[in-house]
Amino acid sequence: MSMANKSSELPRVTFQATAKPGEESSHRKLGKLTVKYNRKDLQRRLDLEEWIDTQLQELYQYQLEEEAEAAIPEPEIDIEDLLE
C-alpha cells in the first residue's frame, strides 16, 4: 500500500462554517481553524529551547568523557517557568 493510499484512509477533522441567512445549506463552505501566535513570544521560546538543547548536549558530552557508570535520569525542564 502506498503512502498516498494510507494518507487518504486517515481520519480527518473538518469544521463547517455557520450558515448565513439566505444561504443554502448545501453550498456551505468549510471553515478553517487558525490560531494567531505572537511572533516575538515564539522566537523567545525557540531561542530558549535551542539554548537548553545546547547546554544538554554539552552536559551529555561531558558525561561521555567522564564515562559515568551510573545512569543519570533525563532532566525535566518546564519551559513555561523559565519564560516567566
- Rounded to two decimals, what is the model's pTM? 0.38
Instruction: Return the pLDDT at 38.
Output: 85
Instruction: Name the nearest CA neighbour of 41 among 2, 1, 80, 69.
Output: 80
Judge contact between 44 and 83, C-beta under 8 A: yes
- Percentage of the chain modeled with pLDDT above 70: 45
Instruction: Return the pLDDT at 9.
Output: 66
- Which of the pair, 70 or 55, is modelled with greater confidence? 55
Please tell me the least confidently modeled range out of 15-19, 23-27, 31-35. 23-27
Asked whether residue 33 carries a pLDDT value surpassing 90, the answer given is: no
Domain ranges of the chain: 3-83
